[in-house]
Structure 1
Amino acid sequence: MTDTAPVVEMRGISIEFPGVKALDGVDFRMFAGEVHSLMGENGAGKSTLIKALTGVYGIDGGTIVLGSEEVSFSGPAQAQAAGISTVYQEVNLLPNLSVAENIMLGREPRRFGSIDWRATRRRAAELLAGLNLEIDPTSLLGDHSLAVQQLVAIARAMDINARVLILDEPTSSLDADEVAELFRVIRSLKEQGVAILFVSHFLDQVYEIADRLTVLRNGRLVGEYRTEEILRIDLVQKMIGKELASLDDLEKRSRAVVEGDEDARAARFLDAEGIGRKGKVQPVDLPIAEGEVVGLAGLLGSGRTEVARLIGGIDRPDSGSIELRGDGVKLRTPRQAIAHRIAYSSENRRDEGIVGDLSVRDNIVLALQADRGWFRPIPKKRQEELAQSYIQALNIRPADPNALVRNLSGGNQQKVLLARWLAIAPRLLILDEPTRGIDIGAKAEIQKLVVNLAENGMSVLFISAELEEVLRLSHRVAVMRDRRMVADLVNDGLGVEELMALIAEGSGDEDNPGEAASASPTPPAGPAPADPEGALR
């Protein structure tokens, strides 16, 4: 590897959207025969930088140099023609066609004006063999796993003699063996001199495969580092932007196991034991007491949301069990979870939360109506009472139950979504990034609401990328890293620096990834939750 001749160099890249400076004078470079990882949390500017490089976005300032020439791409096709190819997390190939057809699509050899299928299959087989892949080029792509489909996409990229290969979250749905095969192919491409941009939230994988790292934060360059020269804890600090204190006693503290007494166990609302989902999250144990706020901390992609979706009935676990007040239950659908008074509020507010074309009132009563059944409509008068009650209690603005939700601010949309779930009087409320992308006033109101709900006996599973927010609200904090839980600690004087250390390094128990360091909670006291149609009343 050499630092003398970058294959691609981006200098002073700036991109602005209305009201937002997505990139502010960012420098970035890649070298032949290197794997380069682009690191940063949500909103850091990673996706914007990649889209600038591949021609999806035009740049407002700066230059892009490919080889020794300054370039300006008007679209991805032009970037691909110049030797920059991208393989996305969601493979954009055609599963109803053969492997060979997908590899050669749009570039099929022709003979006498028609596609030469024999030459097409032969060329595809050569490309697969060049990556040491034993895949039948005549087989249907859709019959293969996602991992194989990604490898086929890489083979397709090699047919255009890619000098730069961008792999966007390629391992997010792969198991360990599939990741190992992908890494073998990546190392093979390195030896061929390809510059590879590997985008991943999994620190273990980044440190295994990447030669160089570039860290972005809030649209600005933090720095470029050789992987072997930067400690994981320093990397996390640079991504999040916090200084770390002394951590000498952290491992001993994170391994302290407090079993708790019978009263504490009896007060638990939920006990999840060994729940996991292959390719998504390693088996975890997570007890949640009545009236307790449990925070889930970790970097984006650490497994926070995956755990929440398993408990909320959105995804089905393929291991482990869940008990509610000591009784085993199956939470295989959101409706089953709601029937047990477990409500999940998604981080994807736009696509999995609000219904923009419905009114505030209709959005608020939606979950309650679904729980009652569509053949038992909620009377209009009761709908109006519920809507007015929550509009007032949550300070939703404008205070108009007939206003279309799509016209509300992000903070008020989030309040409407919370009102919907509170209307079913949940015993456990799962909040995934409830304060992301909203103004500081709305954020403070939602944080106060979480505290009030817990004081009134409701259990809350709270997820946020803001570690200060997790610590401010939580009685207990479970830490996720690389799809496994690495610690579960009582929030008794925990600090941001300790959480960051755990996020970076984990508990150190790599031989037993399903057994996190734990501290069983002593549940906060509080009265029982409110009536079934008004959790705030």
Structure 2
Amino acid sequence: MAGQSDTRPPADGPPPAVHAEGIVKRYGPTVALDGVGLTVRPGEAHALVGRNGAGKSTLVSVLTGMARPDAGRITFGGAPAPGRGDAAGWQRTVACVYQKPMTVPELTVAENLFLGRYQGRRAIRWRALRARAGALLAEYGVEADPAARIEELGVEQRQFVEIAGALSRGARLIVLDEPTARLDAAGIGRLFDKLHALRAQGVAFLFISHHLPEVYALCDTVTVLRDARQVLTAPVPGLTREALVAAMTGPAGERRGATGRRPRTGAGTALGPAGEPVLETAGLVLRGHFAPLDLTVRAGEVVGLAGATASGNTVIGETLAGLRAPDGGRIAVRGRPVRTGSVPRALDAGIGYVPEDRHREGLVPGRSVAENATLTLGGRLGPLGTVLPARTREFARRMIAALDIRTTGPDQPVSGLSGGNQQKVVVARALARDPAVLVAVRPTNGVDVASKEALLGVVRQVADRGSGALLVSDELDDLRVCDRVLAVFHGRVTAEFAAGWRERDLVAAMEGVAGDDGPRAAPHTAGTEGSTP
């Protein structure tokens, strides 16, 4: 492939920690990996980057034995990968430390380190177990009390415990999936110091991150995936950030995007210019997640918050919806203050919310379309706070028609709908109270192209009818419906883009790389001063 360096294993020296070539993985008609190669050498920190959907997660699943490739071969330390079902063999070979800890919070550090490894018939000697755990932690320089419960540790310590456990099983390749997502600057520094020390012992790391400055700070080599293909493997030193972003976006880096929904043309819509503010925040802050935020969404406007999942933009959306209580600042809807940290108060104030995960946060699977669509209405569908089934169904019929929900009727269980139609039900619930502002977090996750188009059209219509919308996403095609886009990086708004932005510029800002300083991007400093998240 053009632009790639040779990823064949070296002819001399120790064998690679992992060598993969020609990896193909299909899920039905979808090609998730198309002839991908990767070589990580002992003691190397190798970055794996790419936009959402590029194939990173699938490759990690293949490398850790969670998925079987349809073609290609993998070796670890020169030996073939463990066989299918050989869980112990995979644990001795490779481990993945995910963004969300895989430890058991209620168990102690010692119990987590040896979980699943005790095969004796006698009672466990707890003092001896803690002593072994202490010696293991000391061997890898991890400062943690073996008797402490995992839930008592900070994120940084939990990661170190997971790494120490993996190494103690024999793994010499550690996959780090967004390891800095919940760390502050000091914690990131300590993590990198620990990784450098372990690399000196020959441990190899595959580092997955949306924060490109961290790639340059830690890694020797970077591999870029785009559209399920390996498009670049190159040494990090000497690779410009512009070239790295260009590899991630490809020739489409200048295109307008696939969606037919466009921002307002000229100053506004048929309603005229964007109107009075419908949503305002002043100094809104949640420590450890995002810095003080000043934000305004006006009537008739769709504003995008662009950033990776770990950037803090999702938490901003959750805070606006009352799911999280901020540490400071205020929220106002149509000029009226909103009590923060309360979902009912946010609903009453006029904030409609589409959560990121419809399965976990958006739907009650055993209930009907009508019941799910009217969950936020409470006792508004009958006298004296009662809920009349006939009114519930009538409201649902109107929403089914308005959003083109493909269902047999309002009484159909929502679990029987397709993903796109389930998401439309979630949107219907968010719109049930005719909100002043719609906050939608990655609303097109896991839906087909036609459903994406329809859902983005609904977001646009909310604004065109005189309300406002805040669209939280890292999907570039989603963001093209916006009138302006704010790039969020490590909990701070770093740049603002007007409609017509270039893909490479926005991706660079989202990844923490300075983009084009031309007229389409403007530095955004309001509300970004304050404590480091």
8 Å contact kept, 2:224–2:248? yes
The residue that corresponds to 1:332 in the other structure is: 341
Alignment partner for residue 7 of structure 1, among 14, 17, 20?
Answer: 17
Shift of residue 486, structure 1, vs aligned partner:
0.6
Residues matched between the structures, number: 492
Other structure's SS at 1:398 match: coil
The residue that corresponds to 1:496 in the other structure is: 503
Distance 1:109 1:358 in 2: 45
Shift of residue 119, structure 1, vs aligned partner:
4.5
Cα 1:105–1:406 change in 2 (3 A) is closer
1:465 aligns with 2:474: yes
1:413 aligns with 2:422: yes
Other structure's SS at 2:179 match: coil
Distance 1:349 1:286 in 2: 26
8 Å contact kept, 1:14–1:23? yes
Alignment partner for residue 477 of structure 1, among 461, 474, 485?
Answer: 485
Distance 2:492 2:160 in 1: 26
The residue that corresponds to 1:534 in the other structure is: none
The residue that corresponds to 1:71 in the other structure is: 81
8 Å contact kept, 2:212–2:513? no
Alignment of 1:73-472 (within 5 A): 73-75=83-85, 77-107=87-117, 115=124, 117=126, 119-242=128-251, 267-369=276-378, 376-398=385-407, 400-471=409-480
1:17 aligns with 2:34: no
Distance 1:448 1:83 in 2: 48
Alignment of 1:506-525 (within 5 A): 517=524
Shift of residue 318, structure 1, vs aligned partner:
1.9
**For each residue in 1:149-186, what CA deviation from the matched residue of structure 2 results, as whole angstroms up to 9, or x when unmatched?**
22122222222232111222322222222222222211
Cα 1:80–1:442 change in 2 (3 A) is closer
Other structure's SS at 1:384 match: helix
Cα 1:91–1:433 change in 2 (3 A) is closer
The residue that corresponds to 1:249 in the other structure is: none
8 Å contact kept, 1:303–1:482? yes
Shift of residue 430, structure 1, vs aligned partner:
1.0
Deviates more, 1:17-26 or 1:51-60: 17-26
The residue that corresponds to 1:50 in the other structure is: 60
Cα 1:81–1:283 change in 2 (3 A) is same
Distance 2:287 2:441 in 1: 21
Shift of residue 466, structure 1, vs aligned partner:
3.3
8 Å contact kept, 2:106–2:151? yes
Unaligned segments of structure 1, at least 5 residues: 246-263, 509-514, 521-537
Distance 1:286 1:391 in 2: 33
**For each residue in 1:84-106, what CA deviation from the matched residue of structure 2 results, as whole angstroms up to 9, or x when unmatched?**
22323333334444333332345
1:487 aligns with 2:495: yes
Shift of residue 306, structure 1, vs aligned partner:
1.9
**For each residue in 1:495-528, what CA deviation from the matched residue of structure 2 results, as whole angstroms up to 9, or x when unmatched?**
33432343344569xxxxxx961699xxxxxxxx
8 Å contact kept, 2:373–2:432? yes
The residue that corresponds to 1:529 in the other structure is: none
Distance 2:398 2:507 in 1: 40
Distance 2:181 2:381 in 1: 37
Other structure's SS at 1:478 match: strand
8 Å contact kept, 2:493–2:525? no
Distance 1:37 1:498 in 2: 21
8 Å contact kept, 1:302–1:480? yes
Distance 1:265 1:12 in 2: 52
Cα 1:92–1:454 change in 2 (3 A) is closer
The residue that corresponds to 1:523 in the other structure is: none
The residue that corresponds to 2:41 in the other structure is: 31
TM-score between both structures, scaled by the size of structure 1: 0.83
**For each residue in 1:429-454, what CA deviation from the matched residue of structure 2 results, as whole angstroms up to 9, or x when unmatched?**
01222234333333333333333221
**For each residue in 1:1-55, what CA deviation from the matched residue of structure 2 results, as whole angstroms up to 9, or x when unmatched?**
x955422111111222233222222111211111122212322222221121221
Distance 1:421 1:136 in 2: 46
Shift of residue 190, structure 1, vs aligned partner:
0.5
**For each residue in 1:473-498, what CA deviation from the matched residue of structure 2 results, as whole angstroms up to 9, or x when unmatched?**
2222111123321113443x433343
Other structure's SS at 1:275 match: strand
8 Å contact kept, 2:241–2:513? no
Distance 2:108 2:382 in 1: 45
Cα 1:19–1:334 change in 2 (3 A) is farther
Distance 1:302 1:507 in 2: 16
Unaligned segments of structure 2, at least 5 residues: 1-8, 255-272, 516-521, 528-533
Distance 2:477 2:106 in 1: 48
Root-mean-square deviation (CA, aligned residues, Å) is: 3.0
Distance 2:104 2:445 in 1: 35
Shift of residue 244, structure 1, vs aligned partner:
5.0
1:325 partner letter: R
Other structure's SS at 2:17 match: strand
Distance 2:175 2:128 in 1: 28
Shift of residue 332, structure 1, vs aligned partner:
0.5
Distance 1:78 1:221 in 2: 30
Other structure's SS at 1:449 match: helix
Shift of residue 294, structure 1, vs aligned partner:
0.6
Distance 1:419 1:187 in 2: 50
8 Å contact kept, 1:488–1:519? no
8 Å contact kept, 2:212–2:512? no
8 Å contact kept, 2:405–2:421? yes
Cα 1:291–1:519 change in 2 (3 A) is farther
Other structure's SS at 2:506 match: helix
TM-score between both structures, scaled by the size of structure 2: 0.84
Shift of residue 117, structure 1, vs aligned partner:
4.8
Shift of residue 352, structure 1, vs aligned partner:
1.6
Shift of residue 417, structure 1, vs aligned partner:
1.6
Other structure's SS at 2:80 match: strand
1:53 partner letter: L
Other structure's SS at 1:403 match: coil
8 Å contact kept, 2:65–2:90? no
The residue that corresponds to 2:51 in the other structure is: 41
2:413 partner letter: L
Cα 1:372–1:171 change in 2 (3 A) is farther
8 Å contact kept, 1:39–1:216? yes
Deviates more, 1:19-28 or 1:418-427: 19-28
**For each residue in 1:125-150, what CA deviation from the matched residue of structure 2 results, as whole angstroms up to 9, or x when unmatched?**
33222333333333343322232122
